[in-house]
A and B are shown apart, each in its own frame.
Chain A
Amino acid sequence: MSTQTVLSVTGLSKSFKAVKAVRDVSFTIPKGKTFGLVGESGSGKSTTARLVLRLVEPTSGAIGFRGRDLAGLSARDLRAERRHMQMIFQDPFGSLNPRMSVRDALVEPQLVHGIGTPAEQLRTAERLLAEVSMPRAALDRYPHEFSGGQRQRIAIARALATNPEMIVADEPVSALDVSVQAQVLNLMRDLQDRHGTTMLFISHDLRVVQFMCDEIGVMYLGEIVEQGPRDRIYGAPAHPYTQALLASAPGKGSGQRARLKGEIPSAHAVPSGCAFRTRCPHAFERCTTDKPAMRDLGGGQKAACHLLDGMASA
């Protein structure tokens, strides 16, 4: 392989008592690339992000990052490793301490990880603010003094403060108005290009994922049902769920909306066989009894559906 793999997730699962929230999720992200996880609420995409960060302890599976398995690290080693893997959340109020000035919010991660002298830390804070196009005067102000878009810029600057190799972004623009959303998405792309940051990007918004991501995993009820390069997923979706998801998106004229019946079942009662069969327009007998395996469709695209059996060897 010519490109270096930064994150390699293998067989990641999480059960909360009887609820299997995430089941056997595997993907890799090459250096400088963005992997997107899309799905509806309850699909397990946010839990997957938290598992990768080990904010939630995995039930099983491995999280290979920079040559180590994060799943097996002690709390102390994990803390040190977090310097290289930072996060951005949907609600910047959740990640910014309301009583901490912007200066302190940007200096603190450096302090925690012992990066630089106080003077250097402040210089870094100033540089980060400039990188996210915020005025230097913002340093002495507090999160509540800013708009949602500005707060998300500050949260991004804070995530960059330790110069991380990877950023996990969970619905980073979902709370923002569209005009501001575009500013933040452009900013994230610029910063990624400049720093070569690898990214795991979680969103329910198919347009945003298409814009941001190189590779995409489509999640349904705790599993990845299809994954592959962006153009394959959007141009030639193979799994009936991916097809329905793309066809449900507005902007195609009302007659074009696909009608996927029913709702996502509870994770307490995952259907037997293929988890999607209760809503699938193509379901047949075998889908109730056999769980479809992930099939390689070529070009880096994989999907788990019995309909693809004949195509597997092609």
Chain B
Amino acid sequence: MTAHLAPLPADQLSPAPLAPTVLDVDNLSLSLRNADGMLPIVTDVSFSIRQGEAVALVGESGCGKSITASAIMGIAPENAVISGTITLNGKVISNLSPGDRRRLCGRHMGFIFQEPMTALHPALSIGRQMTDTLRHNLGLSQGEATNRAAELLDRVGIPRARDILKGYVHELSGGMRQRVMIALAISCGPSLIIADEPTTALDVTIQAQVLDLLEDMRRELNLAMLFITHDLEVVGDFCEKAVVMYAGDVVERGLSADIVGAPTHPYARGLIDAVPAHDDGRTRLTPILGTVPPVGQWPEGCRFAPRCSRADAQCQTRPSLERHGQTDARCWHPLEGNR
């Protein structure tokens, strides 16, 4: 039943080979119901994350990575129709009632979003937001919650934690806001952190600080992390495994080092080649031709075929996600992996 979740061959390289699986996403599909019927947004997404492991969900805008995360978090749009199974710490959560799900997820999942200003309340003090969460999920008293909140801010490197608790989000810089988000995300002792483009809006020196902090937290607390990003370079630095999405499909899945170093899907290769390298001179870039097809206008077979130089008649049929070399790819004509 989970044949497509065959263990990755180089699993022994990941930091905790025998660590238990924290999140398992099995055949997740999501469509939006609208006036014209059903609009498929994400199809057949499968991956899992073990304790202490970071998995990247990578792709360009519109590929379905954020809505996949929202389905896992239980905050998909109201008109979403979801199929497949989501399991958290061995318990199936995809069929829970919204209330049960919230109770479970509040404690066991932490969230970090790209723009803390939209995720944090502008008119409530930072202390209030943190203590409310702690009291609600852990049943602490106000005094205990305040102490714990100050400890958490201290832990994520915010100076003068007690003063900051009395302040508001708009008084903080982007980097400090993201630290507050991280403090909130870890506040109830979660086993899984879902971070959606957590450093995309930050300057490069601040991005490095926040990535370091996330990595420290992950190692100290042995967290499983789902890291959503468009930046393959961050993936290579930060995540053991990666899931590359294109037009609602998982097109490649495997160890980050293999995907960044020798991808087998032409789209993943294209993403890497499209970024100017740090050390090359004034040569031309190799863009991916055309644009991502909008939702509702996906081609029948391989969704990348219209932009792919390797496409032929076979690509009119939809390929399945299969092992090619070191990684799993959804492709009829995978690349050799250029080691």
Which A residues form the contact surface with B (CB < 8 A)? 40-41, 147, 149-150, 177-183, 185-186, 189, 204, 206-208, 210-211, 231, 234, 244-245, 248-254, 257-260, 263-264, 279
Contacts and interface: CB of A to CB of B under 8 A. Distances in A.
Contact of A204 (B203, B208, B237): B203
A250 B203 contact: no
B274 A40 contact: no
B205 A207 contact: no
A178 to B, nearest CB: 5
A134 to B, nearest CB: 13
Contacts of A257: 208, 211-212, 237
B10 interface: no
21 contacts: A40-B203, A150-B291, A178-B230, A182-B288, A185-B276, A186-B287, A189-B284, A204-B203, A206-B204, A207-B277, A211-B282, A234-B278, A234-B279, A248-B205, A250-B234, A254-B215, A257-B208, A257-B212, A263-B173, A263-B175, A264-B203
Nearest to A34: B282
Interface of B: 60-61, 173, 175-176, 203-209, 211-212, 215, 230-231, 233-234, 236-238, 270-271, 273-282, 284-289, 291-292
A207 B278 contact: yes
Contacts of A264: 203
B237 A40 contact: no
Q: Is the interface of A mostly helix, strand, loop or mixed?
A: helix
Given A178-B271, A182-B287, A248-B204, A253 B237 contact: yes
B60 to A, nearest CB: 4
Contact of A250 (B237, B282, B287): B237
A178 B203 contact: no
Given A149-B291, A263-B173, A182 B238 contact: no
B236 A251 contact: yes
A234 B209 CA distance: 22
B205 A245 contact: yes
Nearest to B270: A179
A40 B279 CA distance: 21
- Which 9 interchain pairs have the tightest Cβ spacing? A251-B233, A182-B287, A211-B276, A40-B203, A179-B288, A182-B274, A182-B285, A177-B60, A248-B208
A124 B193 CA distance: 54
A184 B286 CA distance: 11
Given A245-B204, A250-B211, A251-B237, 10 more contacts: A40-B206, A177-B60, A178-B230, A178-B271, A182-B285, A189-B282, A189-B284, A252-B237, A253-B236, A259-B208
B170 to A, nearest CB: 14
Q: Which of B60, B284, B291 has the most CB of A within 10 A?
A: B291
B285 A185 contact: yes
Given A40-B204, A244-B205, A250 B173 contact: no
